[in-house]
Structure 1
């Protein structure tokens, strides 16, 4: 099956289904490779990776498919400059950058033909990135896991606002709240050219996180995540002892340094690799409540596409 949009034409993929770059979960070749093979866009999450591991993962993806793939690079990362040198030398086809300005990378990667996508969470940043010359945007709404916008504006509203602000100049990938084909259909109807699926791909055998993390996603309802860490690096995560502690401190007006210390003691690695579901940061979006089974990533891609087609056929025709 193919679903053609501006995004699929830009990236050379069959389906406007993008797997989000998720630290640890897609910091390996297996998950992005499976998604790209299935016709979507697999994204390798460089954030927690050492340079040697990143290089090996890129080689493994290229050995496994000739389909396009992307690397997600958080620009605040202390190894970002080294990573950019490697990604430039390896001429990665698609680069997704977040948490930093376009001036850090855009010119050098455009010069070698890399397609550059930039992650934004407001109309202001979207317009700024578009004018700088990025090829496309990933627009993250409040439902997203990991690092949603501090404003908490929902994807439903933010996506429309960004689409209007940029006037259709470049493709948009909607992110936050998407887990199935109906979500993809909604994203396209709201003005996006594709959708990014993060939490859904955690519940796959290829995701590089502990089984307890995957089970936590399956067990969560749509109201079982909390946003914590305001002013110190807000995240959305599945509710546990850590999020309850942060919520109590924030609600009680605790000093920012106290909150910063508690926030820093918990890490995503504790949950993702060590399986600590009580004190780790079990980052996930509200769409966890829509995930009901662990399935191979390729099956997830095909299922989303099939659900999209089925949902499209149920829409009422114009009388």
Structure 2
């Protein structure tokens, strides 16, 4: 199956399905390779990766498919300049950058022939990124796991706002998507693709501790929280850490105390070590829409099939 949109034409993929770059979950080759092979855009999450590991993951993806793939780079990570040197030297097909401004990287990656996508969470940042020359925008709404927008504006509103504000730039909608009906909604909002994070987090290829996957699979739509306000807000599952942070924020504890508590817990604790009580179990609200851990190829195919079925259920306009 092929679904053609401005984003699929830009990226050279068959389906408007983007796998989110998720630290630890896709910090390797298995998940992005499976998604790209299936017709979507697989994304290597470079955030926690050492340079040799990142180079090896790129080698493995390129050896396994001739389809496009992307690397996600949070620009705030330690050693970001060295990572960019590596990615430019490898002339990766697509860069998805976040947590920083595009002027820092746009020229060098354009010179390398890399498509540049930038993650935004508002009209102002979208306009600045478009003005800097990015090829497309990943627009994140409040439902997203990891780092939602500080104002917690829903994806429904955020995507429409950015689509109206920067209509000349293709959009990938992110936050709250778990099935083909969600994909249909994203395209109806004006996006050219949807990014799926939690849905691919719960894939067989996702490189997470089994306890992390089990916790997310058991979650309902109301079982996530946002913590870290004024520090670096994240959406994660409710657990002992989230409860402590919520109480500190509710009682307006001193900022330094909140910073210390926030820093004492890490994503690595949950994702790599399996501590889902004290670690940061980042996940989106769409966790409550997912009831099975599946191979990534099956997830991509199912999303496309559900999208096609959803279109047949849409009522046609009545004419007098």
Q: Same fold (TM over 0.5)?
A: yes
1:308 and 2:307 matched = yes
Which residue of 2 is the match for residue 228 of structure 1? 227
Shift of 1:217: 1.1
1:68 and 2:55 matched = no
Shift of 1:181: 0.1
Which residue of 2 is the match for residue 112 of structure 1? 112
Which residue of 1 is the match for residue 205 of structure 2? 206
Which residue of 2 is the match for residue 238 of structure 1? 237
Shift of 1:233: 1.0
Name stretches of at least 5 consecutive residues in structure 2 with no aligned partner: none
Name stretches of at least 5 consecutive residues in structure 1 with no aligned partner: none
1:252 and 2:251 matched = yes
Which residue of 2 is the match for residue 97 of structure 1? 97
Alignment TM-score, normalising by the size of structure 1: 0.99
Which residue of 1 is the match for residue 82 of structure 2? 82
C-alpha root-mean-square deviation of aligned residues, in Å?
0.5
Matches within 5 A, 1:1-319: 1-166=1-166, 168-319=167-318
Following TM superposition, where does structure 1 have runs of at least 4 consecutive aligned residues deviating by more than 6 angstroms?
none
What secondary structure does 2:72 align onto?
strand
What secondary structure does 1:129 align onto?
helix
CA distance in 2, matches of 1:262, 1:190: 38
Q: Deviations over 1:133-168 (max 9, x none)?
A: 0000000000000000110000000110000000x2
Q: Deviations over 1:16-52 (max 9, x none)?
A: 0000000000001000000000000000000000000
CA distance in 2, matches of 1:263, 1:273: 18
Shift of 1:307: 0.2
Shift of 1:79: 1.2
Shift of 1:100: 0.3
